[in-house]
Amino acid sequence: MNAAAEEGPADGSGPADSGGPVRVFLAGYGTVGKALHRILEDEADAIAAQAGRSIRLVGIARNDRFMVDPDGVPLKEVRNRDWATGTVMEALGAVDADLFLEATPTDLETGQPALGHCKAAFREGMPVVLANKGPLVAAYDELMERAEAAGVAVRFEATVAGCIPTLSAVRESFAGDTVERVEGIFNGTTNFILTRMAEEGSDLDQALREAQSLGYAEADPTADLEGHDAAAKVVILANAVLGRTITLDDVAVQGIRDVTRESVELAKAHGYHVKLIAEVDRQGTARVGPRLVKQGSPLDVRGALNAVHFRTRLAGEVTHVGPGAGGKETAAAMLGDLVGLVRSGN
């Protein structure tokens, strides 16, 4: 598949419309999961007004432990209450939920454990919202076929460029148009590092340490620096937007480890900035690598920002810019998918 499951079945696909609140289950309680929990609580009234129904978080799972409450798990109780021991599958058996939120750590090779979580959710008839790229990169077709067979929708806006409208733009804003090509800056960590190298004259290691101290880079930055994170997003876009069936092995990937301070300075002196650019089109291009972008051009975004440039048959060239990562920002993208599904279910 195919765009159909990402869109959701034609007969309306959202969570069961049983009246009352929509009950959601959250797997993964790291930075993104906690941010989403806080948003669901702090913005409950506004979300209910926009979704048409209130949303109740009835279960949370992390690291083979879980907490469920049919009346809702209050944020302030997460630390005080005892967590039960058990898998996500066992947790799903302990509480009734209408919709599944997947925000566990990503494994791009196997897609697990998130892939198993999604399959379990489908078996329970639950639509799924993912922030985890793993299942989409490792087993896109299988995931979509299972969702289609179960008659439920899968949404994953948070997996590509955080809260920048990317998949939803294709689904809604470019509906009827044809997206021919997508390119851009899909990794905020490397963009932060390259920006600091250009603006401060830092070398890569200095800029990396600064990124880590500010929380923009992981303790192990390999996936970002080697371009694997951006490549995963290329795979998702190719499969979900451009009608191609590719895996990580089909993406030509070069990271930024060999980008030197001298390279960045020389580019800057000639009116360019070095950026890690991801590109994918319908003709066979799928690559990630350092490129020159003209200073002041739409892709010349600073710091940890991302930029997504669409080339479409009718609308022409459109660029979206915004935060591509961060707990609150990624949670906001999940919330957008969640509210969209609740609306469609109504």
Partner 1 sequence: MRLDFELLLPDAPGELAPVLRAVADHGGNIQSIMHLHERAEGDQVPVLFTVEMQESDTLKLLDTLTRSHRLLRVNHEGGPVGTTVLLSGHVFQARIDRLLDPLFDLGARVERIDARVAGRDKPSAVLVRLSADDKAAMGAAMDALRKRADKDGLTVMASVEESA
Mark the segment that binds partner 1 (CB under 8 A) among 5-13, 44-52, 96-104, 296-304: 296-304
Strands 65-68 and 55-62: antiparallel
Q: Is 266 in the site for partner 1 (CB under 8 A)?
A: yes
Sign (positive or negative) of CA dihedral 48, 54, 58, 59: negative
The residue within the footprint of partner 1, chosen from 2, 54, 212, 254 (CB under 8 A), is 254
Angle (CA) 127-4-336 rounded to 5° is: 50
Integer Cα distance of 207 and 195 in angstroms: 9
The first and second tokens of residue 24, run together, are 């959601």
Q: Which residue is catalytic, options 34, 119, 133, 233?
A: 233
Question: Is residue 183 a contact residue for partner 1 (CB under 8 A)?
Answer: yes
Determine, following the binding rule CB under 8 A, whether residue 292 of this chain makes contact with partner 1: yes
Q: HSE (CB half, 13 Å, CA atoms) of 3?
A: 15
Number of residues located near partner 1, criterion CB under 8 A = 30
Nearer to partner 1, 104 or 190 (CB): 190
The one among 240, 267, 286, 301 contacting partner 1 by CB under 8 A: 267
Regarding 299 and contact with partner 1 (CB under 8 A), the answer is yes
Check binding of 230 to partner 1 (CB under 8 A).
no
Residue with tokens 């799928």: 286
Instruction: Name which position in 263, 303, 328, 344 contacts partner 1 (CB under 8 A).
Output: 263
CA 191, distance to chain mean position in Å, is: 17
CB of 262 to partner 1, least distance (A): 4
Of the candidates 201, 203, 220, which has an alpha carbon nearest to the alpha carbon of residue 212? Answer: 220
In the complex with partner 1, the residue whose CB is nearer, 99 or 276, is 276
CB of 271 to partner 1, least distance (A): 6
The strand pairing partners of 174, in sequence order, are none
Q: Using the rule CB under 8 A, is 269 a contact of partner 1?
A: yes
Stretch of 19-27, 76-84, 209-217, 271-279 contacting partner 1, by CB under 8 A? 271-279
Examine residue 265 and tell whether it contacts partner 1 (CB under 8 A).
yes
| DSSP codes of every residue in 15-30 | S---SSPEEEEEE--S
Nearer to partner 1, 81 or 313 (CB): 313
76 is known as an active-site residue: no
Which segments of the chain are extended strands (E)? 22-27, 55-62, 65-68, 84-85, 99-102, 128-130, 154-155, 179-185, 252-253, 272-281, 286-294, 305-312, 316-323
Is there binding between residue 258 and partner 1 (CB under 8 A)?
A: yes
CB of 122 to partner 1, least distance (A): 40
Amino acid at 96: D
User: Where along the sequence are the contacts to partner 1 (CB under 8 A)?
Assistant: 183, 254, 258-263, 265-267, 269-272, 274-275, 277, 289-297, 299, 316-317
Q: List, by residue number, the catalytic residues.
A: 233
